[in-house]
A and B are shown apart, each in its own frame.
Chain A
Amino acid sequence: MRKYSILLLALVLLTLASCKKWLNLTPESQVAAQDLFKTQEGFEEALNGVYTRCGQGDIYGQELTCGLPDVLAQDYSLSTINDPLSYLQSADFNYTDANFLNRENNLWSGLYNAVVNCNLILANVDQQKSIFTGNDYALIKGEALALRAYLHFDALRLFAPSYASNSSAPAIPYVTTYSNKVTSLSTVSTVVKDVIADLLQAKAILAPADSIRNADYIVGYPSDPAQTETSSSDLFEQNRRHRMNYFAVCGELARAYLFEGDYPDALSNALEVINAKKFPWTNQADFLNATPALQDLILYKELVFGWYIPWQTPSLQSLFQSGTGGLFLLPADAQFIYEANGVGGEDLRYKEWMQVSVSGAVQLMKYRMNPSVTPNDPTANICPQMAPAIRLSEMYYIAAECSFDQSPSTALGYLNTVRAQRGIGNPLTDSTKTQFLTDLLKDARKEFFGEGQIFYMYKRLNTSIVGSSGIIIPPSDSIFVLPLPINETEFGG
């Protein structure tokens, strides 16, 4: 009897020892983080996941690209009848409105959800450095760093006062770890420092690795035989402009330096993009092409970086093609913004992007896609559905703004280049900076319509927002600074 008990006890103890391992189960229909980060493909999927996440409607897929920031910038004429999109209160800067609070919470949560995905990659990439081949390690780490900076910088531009207004104000948390602990708020200047630090590190890592810097990397439409953007045999190496490429990091750095007021650094980064001559101006023939399948409305080749968002097409179509039930402009407002009765009469952007619908509302055509006959027909459109993130023209604007103090003529040269490309014949000859900035803003508003950038510009320059039919809304942090979401502040973050 004793013999048996001892035997059994030994058996039980043995099984117990091996049991811990047996109990370590990993999910099958999902992937445990520890398993995902065992392979290079897993890292690639995690990074692609961040871009896909960003391309969802709550952030860059819609809201941050053509939603709330442009509503705040008074770009749309909203229907006052039944407020179908619940933007009316937001357009009046009522930051206690439930719809506003809901949207704000969603985009804040969305941005930081994308951030935590970057942080998970960054927390694992160095330990696993040995598994990578080729340029993968550099691309993954560099892009994850740059994305983290990009996301934080947009959160900063929305939820904090401008640098010029109050650089020491508490702003947002700059989150660099994967944890359930609260990260406390950093000041505006600290956040910008962190953004720049991450971007500089990313730039250094990407510089030797990013194929977009190679001479044989030629930007173009997917159907263009000369382009090499989709020629890599490795899908992950394709379409560098759909991801945080080296020039995108330069562009973002230019933005961040400009935000700080550091003109020389902003200028040098903007010029690095411009002088690379990687991104050609859009051919007018493509912009104006009468065949919908061949018309380039997004100005694809000028995108230094854009989010690839084909899944957003139905949502964007219904947003912009529902007459007064969606986002639209009254004809007078569209004419006002594009100065259609003055210098903007021949502006291609006005002609192609502003289209009067049956109901009389002017609709934004920028995101119009030719409905494909079969799902995902690549010949239905000249380029995929994109959400612009950094444009070549913005680099010209930054270069112009940074060089005006030194050389007004150089600055005007940059600005006039953009205007000329868009069909505005007579060049500007502004002599004062105020006048110059006014003209810069006017053109940027035309250029960035539905791209979510102009609100940040008003805020950074602390200028009045020109509303519907020329109503002036004076600058103030009470309209420029979105309150932090309640879900965030209740943790004392």
Chain B
Amino acid sequence: MQLTAYGKARRHELALITKLLLMFKLTAVFVLLTCLQAGARALAQGITLSEENAPMEKVLKEIRKQSGLTIWYEDALLQKSKPVDIHIRNGNLDTVLAHIFRDQPLSYEIINHSILAIREREAETSPKAVSPPFVVHGKVLGEEGEPLAGVSVSVKGSRQGTVTNAKGEFALSGLDSLATLVLTGANTETKEIKLEGRTTLVIRLKNKVQQISEVAITVSNGYQEISKENFTGTAVTISGEDLKKVDPQNVLRSLQSFDPSFKIVENNLAGSNPNALPNINVRGSTALPSGSGTDVISRNTLSSGVNLPTFILDGYEVSLEQVYDLDINRIKSITLLKDAAATAVYGSRAANGVVVITTNPPKNGKLQVSYNYELNTTTPDLTQYHVLDASQKLAYENMAGLYNANNNGALSQDQLNDVYYHKLGMILSGVNTYWLSQPLQTTFGQKHSVYVEGGSGPFRVGLAARYETSPGVMKGSGRDRYSTDLTLSYNLGSKFLFRNDISATQMNSVASPYGDFSNYARMNPYYPKYDSTGHIAQVVDTYVDRSGGGVTTNYELNPMYDATLKSFNKDQYFQFVDAFSADWTIMQGLRLRGQISVNRTSGSSDQFISPMANEYYFYSSTQLNEKGSYTYGDSVTTVADGNMTLNYNHKLGGHFLNVLVGANFRTSLTDTKSFSATGFTNDQFPDIGFAYGYATGSTPNSYVDKERLFGTFASANYSYKDKYLMDLTFREDGSSQFGSNNRIAPFSAVGIGWNMHKEDFMKGSPFSRLKIRASTGLTGSVSFAPYMAQTTYSYYTGSWYSTGAGAIVSNYGNQNLQWQKTRDYDLGMEIGLLQDRILIMPRYYYKLTTGLVSSVSLPPSTGFSSYLDNVGNMRNTGEELNLQVNVIRNRNFNLSLTANLTHNRNVIVKISDALKAYNERVDSAQTNSANMGAPLLRYQEGQSLDAIYAVRSLGIDPETGNEIFVKKNGTLTYNWSVNDIVPAGNTESKVEGFFGTNVRYKQFNLLLNFYTRLGGQLYNQTLVDRVENADPHYNVDYRVLSQRWEKPGDRVFFKNVADLGQTQVSSRFIQRDNVLALNSFYLSYDAGHGFSSKLGMRGLRFAFTTNDLFWWGSVKQERGIDYPYARSFTTSILANF
């Protein structure tokens, strides 16, 4: 039987159905179907008809189309009908129907508000019309009296509802005259109106009061949602929208501004390189860079990743790169878990903090489309670069004695004069190249991101797509990301919820063919970049020198030349993630949840260096088959991550208990292969197939890395009358990375809290919030390569013995190797005054990491030089302060001030002998000319990891121009000695953080966010490398010309300009490091509803953000050595349909 229109039902059947329907008061199924049919359209819009002498059937069809009504009738009846004349615009349904049926032998009836049943007009006797149903007409207005479109109007306790039209009007019929309407708008407060028999209403809605960083009501730790008020751990939750305001291009940087204890370690080499992944630590360093290698670590080459927090995206662990490449529009919120009470459920992955990212789940209801467009402009920031121009440079060379035969025995004075006048000639002919700007560009990056969501009943769908390009300020460099994400959720009854997310991301990155920026900073301005034919010259200068007994001709090559070739260096990966979760509400308060995700990332890197490149310029003709190289790398990572949790909460009287037990596993497999080939005849065919052969002495490489983790955990959150709080967590982890003697690791945490403001005695006090909490716990981290706990053999791949391939033991496998343990104490307060207009949240923490994994030296007679063991302890203590003041808070105008400040102190409590031996190695490296001027990383017990090691200096002796050093025993000397190196400074700031303001006036929103750090120290490398140790053959910092010692009596900072000896690491260059920067400036405008609805939109927002607009630092040094820093400007449009 056909339920919908035009069925050929007989009259009695129809009557029966009608009866049945009425009898069962419409079954749920029926409601569903009609809702699907009519939905929000029903009766909301008026009916427009214009018919002359039209058959009844045609008119009814039209009404059905426009109103969405289901119409029931019998064909035979319609034959009796007369043609209809009707002209109506936006007519009310009742009016229309009354008109049509006025002269007909038929009558009609509306069942519920959507079924129109037609029957024969009963006995000609009484022309009694059907009593019209109860109809309500209403108009919804905003605070300013403007009509509000798109406000949903629903009838409380039923599924009936509609949405206001562009004029803010709505109509509902067929409802109880005493019903209650619920009005919900996107930007307004929800309001309930009792009808009390009224048929016309004018309703005013209040705007929602927006807060700067909305205080989240719950905290998500990735496994469960915990009421924030009753949580004793330290967690900071930031909404995706707020993150986007601060820095729409980089979610990690944005996160830092909300909590500076999530610290992105400044990398002065990489600058604003979009392809450089940041190094992050939370509440200080908890790992020692392993000193097992022979290479000495300088501050800039610190390997990244040792201190990284764990990133959890929708319940499964992801890599830093995955977060870096995540579409910021997908983020609903990010929660940073910092202390043990908050992180202990992550056990061996918890010690460096946990970042929990939740993405937007699709909303229920009508299909909604949001579209976001961003135009990102970046411009290089060269304000910290001050190099000499052509004539200054030549003057400096002259001062430095390059053209004085007494200083340069290689050439005669005549020859030197020739060189000098040759250069002078170039300058006089007008050559003055500003090399710094050559590899740079202003970039325009674009981002389109679309999100479609909607659903009804049990099904919900969300589909996101993104196209994002991020070109870098060095020409040719960039990082492009494309992604799609499909979320499906299905509610089976009220007990089961299934959700599946599929996402695919493609990332393409390219490094600049221009090479390192430092190559441009050193180019002499009197070199022309073009040759006489107007092409980029490869050799910009040749000069004769005499060294080591022979006359040599030196060629100065143009770094720009490489960019004219077809060399490239690019990376890409494709990532596919499928995450499935199932949620079963077993009974009230008891929930079982299972989740599994599979993540497969396959990446490759291709680097081709043209045979014509500068690096092969000096290759002899016999090395032709070594010119040009191609390196290919390929890596596939597959991760499966799953967990199962059982959550129980129960409220009994004042007691509230929330218990979670669960287990999770993670297994990852990374398979990496790489090989390189050399020998290309030209760069027309930059394909590895054109190579002559493998690079000399190289063989293909491969590495397979497997890791497995299994953990079970339980946590309980108890509160009594919301006043007295307690959290308990326990977790046991097993990891394949631990030694076989220590496979299972227990972790635990406990936290207590007191919501004082809930106490009776606090009633009437100015404190709207006063919470005190304390927690302690033990968490872990694993920061060593897999298999270090096992004795492993590796094969000699390049050299086989005559009797077969050989395998050799590669490490001493320490079966007792363990995870690092961090014991953590955290104290915190939350103070709210004047209805939380002023919020002050101070925190103190103490973190002691024991069993620091580090290499231990062995006597070589054991066959090994070192092995990994748990030695060494490190302590981090610090204070954090969050401050928020809502100065003005009313409908049209909000003004608030925020500050997030932090201070961390790091102390190495104990280190291994191997690290002491490493310090000795550093001593010898420090005297080697490559490292002479740079303070190297050292480890000393009682000192900070951030200490700067140098020989103390009293400055330049005005009499002699020599530097006066302070020996370890306090006596003075002119002679620098590596034995006098002491910790002479510390890069840890006294205060570091962000402060700013948020102003909202009507539809405008302004946010200013400043970064500052005070009280730390920095070693000014520019003064050493580019002033004192500067090679006069290359361009240098402008300060070489000033403040140099020239004659006795000069009280200056720099040593004698003619002293070409290398300056050694000295405390003279340690300077106060104070920084103030405009981290972010954000301005947005929300178009009024009137305007956006004219464009057919529900909402429209324009926003402008600029990052790093200005940067001021007390240390004047070049910033961004290999890649310059940049300022960024983002304009964005967000439209909702």
Q: Which residues of A contact B (CB under 8 A)?
A: 1, 4-5, 8-9, 12, 15-16, 19-20, 22-34, 36, 42, 44-53, 55, 82, 98, 105, 108-109, 112-113, 115-117, 119-120, 172-173, 175, 178-183, 235-239, 242-243, 308, 310-311, 384, 485, 487-488, 490-491, 493
Check if B812 sits within 8 Å of A384, measured CB to CB: no
Interface centre among B592, B646, B663, B863 (most CB of A within 10 A): B863
Q: A179 to B740, alpha carbons, bound, how many Å?
A: 16
Contact: A117 with B736, CB < 8 Å? no
**What distance in Å separates the Cβ of B718 from its nearest Cβ neighbour in chain A?**
18
- Within 8 Å by CB of B791, from A5, A33, A243, lies A33
B724 within 8 A of A: no
- From the candidates B703, B736, B865, name the one contacting A23 in the complex (CB within 8 A): B736
Query: Which listed residue (A28, A48, A115, A384) contacts B805, Cβ 8 A?
Result: A48
Most buried by A among B740, B858, B862, B917: B862
Beyond the given A25-B707, A180-B867, A242-B803, could you list 4 further A-B residue pairs with CB under 8 A, ordered by the A residue number? A27-B704, A116-B864, A180-B812, A487-B865
- Known: A8-B661, A49-B796, A180-B812. Is A23-B743 also a contact (CB below 8 A)? yes
5 contacts between A and B (CB under 8 A): A15-B710, A15-B712, A23-B743, A48-B806, A182-B859
Q: With a CB–CB cut-off of 8 A, which chain B residues contact A485?
A: 860
Q: Mark B840-863, 1 if CB is under 8 A from A, else 0.
A: 000000000000000001111111
Q: What chain B residues lie within 8 Å of A491 (beta carbons)? A: 857-859
Q: Is the CB of B710 within 8 A of A23?
A: yes
Counting CB contacts under 8 A, is B982 at the interface?
no
Q: Any chain A CB within 8 A of the CB of B804? A: yes
B859 touches A26 (CB 8 A): no
Residue of A nearest to B796 (CB): A52
Partner of B863, one of A25, A113, A239, A487: A113
Chain A residue contacts of B808, Cβ below 8 A: 46, 49-50, 52-53, 117
B795 at the interface (CB under 8 A from A): yes
Knowing A16-B712, A116-B809 are in contact, say whether A182-B861 is a contact too (CB < 8 A).
Answer: yes
Report the separation of the CA atoms of residues A30 and B811 in the bound assembly, to the nearest whole angstrom: 11
Task: Judge whether B663 and A25 touch: CB under 8 Å.
Answer: no
Contacts of B813 in A (CB 8 A): 33
Write the nearest CB–CB distance from A21 to chain B, whole angstroms.
Answer: 10
A33 partner, pick from B712, B809, B862, beta carbons under 8 A: B809
A491 to B862, CA, bound (A): 11
Q: How far is the CB of A226 from chain B (nearest CB, A)?
A: 19
- The distance in angstroms between the C-alpha atoms of A239 and B803, with both chains bound, is 7
Q: With the chains together, A384 CA to B704 CA distance in Å?
A: 35
> Quick one: given A82-B548, A308-B801, are A24 and B863 in contact (CB under 8 Å)?
no
B801 touches A48 (CB 8 A): yes
Q: Establish whether residues A180 and B710, one from each chain, have CB atoms under 8 Å apart when the complex forms.
A: no
Q: Is B590 an interface residue (CB 8 A)?
A: yes
Q: Return the CB mask of B691-728 against A: 1 if under 8 Å, else 0.
A: 00000000000111011101010000000000000000
* Residue contact B858 to A180, C-beta cutoff 8 Å: yes
Proximity bits, B787-805, A CB within 8 Å = 1, else 0: 1001111111011111111
Contacts of B787 in A (CB 8 A): 25-27, 30, 32
Residue of B nearest to A488 (CB): B859
Q: Tell me the complex Cα distance, A175–B735, Å.
A: 33
A contact residues around B271 at 8 Å (CB): none
Q: B669 to chain A: closest CB distance in Å?
A: 9
Residue B265 at the chain A interface, CB threshold 8 Å: no
Interface pair B801/A12, CB less than 8 Å apart: no
Nearest Cβ distance between residue A90 and chain B, in whole angstroms?
Answer: 18
- Expressed in whole angstroms, the Cα–Cα distance for A425 and B646 within the complex equals 96
Please, which residues of chain B bring their CB within 8 A of the CB of A488?
A: 859-861
Q: Complex Cα distance A19/B666, Å?
A: 12
From B790, B799, B808, name the one whose CB has the most chain A CB atoms within 10 angstroms.
Answer: B808
CA distance A8 to B714 in the complex (A): 12
Contact A49 B806 (CB under 8 A): yes
Contact B807 A46 (CB under 8 A): yes
Contacts A31-B792, A116-B809 given; does A235 touch B799 at CB 8 Å: no
Does B786 reach chain A (CB closer than 8 Å)?
A: yes
Q: Max chain B CB contacts within 10 Å: which of A25, A28, A172, A488?
A: A25
Sort A-B residue pairs by CB-CB distance and give the 5 closest, nearest first: A116-B863, A49-B806, A28-B704, A52-B806, A48-B806
A20 and B792: CB pair below 8 A? no
Query: Contact between B803 and A493 (Cβ–Cβ < 8 Å)?
Result: no
Q: Is the CB of B708 within 8 A of A25?
A: yes
Residue with the greatest number of chain A CB neighbours at <10 A, chosen from B732, B795, B798: B795
Q: Are B710 and A4 in contact (CB under 8 A)?
A: no
- Give B644-662 interface residues, CB cut-off 8 Å to A: 646, 648, 661
Q: Classify chain B: how many residues form its interface, as a range.
A: 35 or more
Query: Chain A: which residue is nearest B740 at the CB level?
Result: A24
Q: A20-B743, A33-B793 are in contact. Are A105 and B860 (CB under 8 A)?
A: yes
Please give me the residue from chain B that is nearest to A35 by CB atom: B793
On whether the beta carbons of B801 and A51 are closer than 8 Å, the reply is: yes
Residues of A within 8 A of B736 (CB): 23-25
Which of B790, B795, B806, B860 interacts with A112 by CB under 8 Å?
B860
- Please give me the residue from chain B that is nearest to A493 by CB atom: B859
Residues of A within 8 A of B803 (CB): 44, 48, 51, 235-239, 242-243
Instruction: Contact check, A45 vs B795: say whether CB atoms are below 8 A apart.
Output: yes
**What is the bound-complex CA distance between A452 and B1109, given in angstroms?**
68
In whole Å, how far is B1033's beta carbon from the nearest beta carbon of chain A?
A: 23
**Cα separation A343 to B547 with both chains bound (whole Å):** 45
In the assembled complex, how far is the CB of residue A20 from the closest CB belonging to chain B, in whole angstroms? 6
Which residues of the other chain, A, contact B23 by a CB distance below 8 angstroms? Answer: none
Bound state CA distance, A71 and B977, in angstroms?
33
Instruction: Report the minimal beta-carbon distance from B817 to chain A, rounded to whole angstroms.
Output: 12
- Interface presence of B734 (CB below 8 A): yes
C-alpha gap A27/B861 in the complex (Å): 26
* A26 contacts B790, C-beta separation under 8 Å: yes
Q: What is the CA–CA distance of A55 and B808 in the complex, to the nearest angstrom?
A: 13
Q: Are B798 and A311 in contact (CB under 8 A)?
A: yes
Q: Provided the pairs A8-B646, A243-B803 are in contact, do residues A116 and B862 lie with their beta carbons within 8 angstroms?
A: yes
Point out the residue from A9, A27, A181, A237 that lies within 8 Å of B786, measured CB to CB: A27
Query: CB distance B704 to A108 under 8 Å?
Result: no
Minimum C-beta distance from B167 to chain A (A):
53
Decide if B587 is an interface residue (CB 8 Å cutoff): yes
B564 within 8 A of A: no
Q: Flag if B706 contacts A28 (CB, 8 Å).
A: yes
Q: How far does the alpha carbon of A42 sit from the alpha carbon of B587 in the complex, in Å?
A: 58
Distance in angstroms from B672 CB to nearest chain A CB is 8
CB distance from A122 to the nearest CB of B (A): 13
The A-contacting residues of B in range 851-910, CB under 8 angstroms, are 857-865, 867
> Which residues of A lie under 8 Å from residue B88 when comparing CB positions?
none
Residues of chain A within 8 A of B740, CB atoms compared: 24
Set of chain B residues within 8 Å of A26, measured between Cβ atoms: 787, 790
Contacts A48-B803, A52-B796; is A182 near B862 (CB within 8 Å)? yes
| Residues in B neighbouring A44, C-beta threshold 8 A | 803-804
Q: Are A183 and B861 in contact (CB under 8 A)?
A: yes
Across the interface, do A45 and B586 meet the contact criterion of CB distance under 8 Å?
no
Q: What is the CA–CA distance of A310 and B858 in the complex, to the nearest angstrom?
A: 32
Q: Are A33 and B734 in contact (CB under 8 A)?
A: no
Q: Is the CB of B792 within 8 A of A33?
A: yes
- Specify the chain A residue showing the minimal Cβ separation from B863: A116
Q: How far is the CA of A485 from the CA of B812 in the complex (A)?
A: 21
Q: A48-B807, A53-B808 are in contact. Are A238 and B802 (CB under 8 A)?
A: yes
Which residue of chain A has the shortest Cβ distance to B916 in the bound complex? A490
Residues of B within 8 A of A33 (CB): 790-793, 809, 813
Contact between A180 and B793, CB atoms less than 8 A apart: no
Partner of B807, one of A23, A24, A28, A36: A36
Contact check, B859 vs A31: say whether CB atoms are below 8 A apart. Answer: no
Q: A154 CB to closest chain B CB, in angstroms?
A: 14
Residue of B nearest to A42 (CB): B807
Instruction: Let me know if B810 is at the binding interface, CB within 8 A.
Output: yes
Contacts of A181 in B (CB 8 A): 862
Of B790, B809, B810, B861, which one neighbours A493 at CB under 8 angstroms? B861
The answer to whether A25 touches B802 (Cβ under 8 A) is: no
**How far is the CB of A123 from the nearest CB of chain B, in Å?**
11
